Amino acid sequence: MKMPTKLSSSESLSVVASREQICSDLQGEVVILDIKSGAYYGLNQVGASIWNFIQSPKTVQEIEDTILAEYEVDTEVCKRDISALLEDLAAKGLIEINNEASA
């Protein structure tokens, strides 16, 4: 699993939720338990949409397209916010990021 530090211009990267976690939906939000560390993480409604979408491998471009279709948001803001969320989830070991060709 290779995790780039920056995901900008990363449409060809494949993202999937790690198997080392348990998650639960709580009224439109998601709570994630990292099995290894025992730490809990929470995601708001938009983060929950992304989390639910990446239960199977998706490209960053697919994630962006889905959020842009679901929510009224500026394209650049969407890309920046998704990149920040994915970088944070990757840093916590909650997602796996691979080059699409090798995924």
* CATH code of the domain in which 33 resides: 3.90.930.60
Is 4 part of any domain? no
Is the whole model's pTM more than 0.75, yes or no? yes
Q: Which two tokens stand for residue 95?
A: 């997602």
Is 86 part of any domain? yes
Q: Which two tokens stand for residue 64?
A: 């962006």
Q: pLDDT at position 36, please?
A: 92
Digit-by-digit pLDDT tens for the chain (103 residues) are: 444 446 655 667 899 999 999 999 999 999 999 999 999 999 999 999 999 999 999 999 999 999 999 999 999 999 999 999 999 999 999 999 998 644 4
Reduced to 3 states, what is the DSSP secondary structure of residue 50? helix
CA–CA distance from 79 to each of 19, 52, 70, 73, 75 (Å)?
Answer: 25, 18, 14, 10, 6
Is 65 part of any domain? yes
Number of independent structural domains in the chain: 1
Domain of residue 20: give its range: 13-102
Is 7 part of any domain? no
